[in-house]
Copies of this chain bind each other. A is one copy, B any other.
Amino acid sequence: MKKKTLIINGMILTMDELQENLIHCGFIVIEDGNIQKVGKLSEVDSSFVNSIPDIIDASGKLVMPGLINTHTHAAMTLFRGLADDIPLMTWLQNHIFPAESKAVNPEMVYWCSKLAAAEMILSGTTTVADGYFHEGSAAEAFAEAGLRSVAAQGVIDFPAPGVPDPAYNIDKTEDFIESWQGKNDLISPAVFCHSPYTCSSETLQKAKKLANRMNTLFFIHLAETKGEVEQTKAKHNTTPVQYLNSLGILDENTVCVHCVWLDEEDIKIIAQTGCGVSTCPDSNMKLASGVAPLDQMLKGNITIGLGTDGCASNNTLDIFAAMDLCAKVHKVKKLDPTVVSAGEVLKMATIDGARVLGMKKITGSLTPGKRADIIMLDLQQPHMQPMYNADNLVYAARGSDISTAIIDGNLVMKDRKILTIDIEEIKERVRSLSRDLTETI
């Protein structure tokens, strides 16, 4: 017999363009991890409700699709708050790179990605796209946490954790993809090339070829800072976007992360090639990289997902906080309160994030046939009262308002307790790693 669960009494935000978006008192049927039916509670009778023994009462809650974080470096939770308010190059060269070269090993990636997984689940994220080194250890952590993930192995033309000789960076990535592809329904392996300025054109093309051959996504940091654009223009006589396009890197299986400094031609190319964009407003603001031309990208029908970036440059993995910031920073940049609306930002954090990650048939909305990635948000907190419409989620809700998380049909968090992993053990391990780190740097 198939396992059925019924969620009733909650306010439901479907994020499904073909259904009613906000149902004031609704129900959801989950069968074998799939969303089977979504509707108004008033349209079913009590015999239907009574026929399903496993009932979750969502009274006083908002039930919505789990959020999608399209860019982070999960293991960097270890570096949260280690070095704030420092110029980018000093930050990288004197703080982050030395800390990474001392601290990053499979054990660190495993425990610190597990801490990140806990933080993400507790703040409503049910799908994450991660990029780091020793990515197998991150994938293991996400799998144990029950978090849907795109786990992308880092490729860079410098000696890196686990890849002391960059000549083997593509081989290493191929090994990683082979060992994880098809292994776990929740984990999709992928390729993460650091950037056009830290990878040669040869590496970029080899890595993209590998991604194509293995049928995976390809991620790259792109046009993050003004300095990067200037450097690329000096070296390649074109913009970072146009440079990557000339190498054949840009297509609908490529995710361009940041995209802060784009010209009109860059925006056209991204739109034409069908690349996804991951925007990370917290990181771009804190590192003072700039404000992305999001309103122009939206007008160009580019699909945009939201990312937190890693904890060294944010310092949290809370997509609700990123939504608030994203909606506000573009308004003040353009001195126009109508640009990048709350509704557009909610799409970025859900259905459009799923599109960016090639998962629109699996997650991102409460649509029958998709997997059940569902979160419940406590509307009874004073800061959520009163509630006139869903836009208020963007400007008032925070990750801490999430009470329940279901991923792939499994209850992974209930009443703010994570059911899949031992959070006390994780914190203990990460604290021990942080003590080692401050002793050694």
Contact = CB atoms under 8 A, between A and B. Distances in A.
A424 to B, nearest CB: 9
B389 A332 contact: no
B331 A383 contact: no
A284 B331 CA distance: 9
A399 B396 CA distance: 12
A80 B386 contact: yes
Contact of A383 (B88, B119, B383): B119
Contacts of A328: 282, 285-286, 325
Contacts of A286: 327-328, 331, 337, 395
Interface in A84-140: 84-88, 91, 115, 118-119, 122-123
B337 A81 contact: no
A430 B380 CA distance: 12
Interface string A316-359: 11100100110111011011111001100000000000000000
For this complex, into which size category does the number of interface residues on chain A fall? 35 or more
A228 B407 CA distance: 50
A248 to B, nearest CB: 32
A67 to B, nearest CB: 15
A395 B316 contact: yes
A42 to B, nearest CB: 19
Nearest to A398: B398
A87 B338 contact: yes
A291 interface: yes
Query: What secondary structure prevails in chain A residues at the interface with B?
Result: helix
Contacts of A398: 318, 321, 398-400
B316 A84 contact: no
A242 interface: no
Contact of A391 (B85, B122, B395, B430): B85
A388 B434 contact: yes
Nearest to A225: B335
Contacts of A431: 385-386
B115 A84 contact: no
A285 to B, nearest CB: 4
Interface in A386-405: 386-389, 391-392, 394-396, 398-401
A316 B123 CA distance: 18
A314 B290 CA distance: 23
A341 B288 CA distance: 12
A77 interface: yes
A382 interface: yes
A382 B341 contact: no
A423 interface: yes
A81 B285 contact: no
Given A332-B284, A395-B316, A400-B400, A81 B387 contact: yes
A91 to B, nearest CB: 7
A382 B331 contact: no
A27 B284 CA distance: 39
6 contacts: A80-B396, A85-B337, A285-B328, A286-B331, A325-B325, A382-B427
Given A85-B337, A122-B382, 7 more contacts: A80-B386, A122-B383, A288-B331, A288-B337, A325-B325, A329-B332, A388-B434
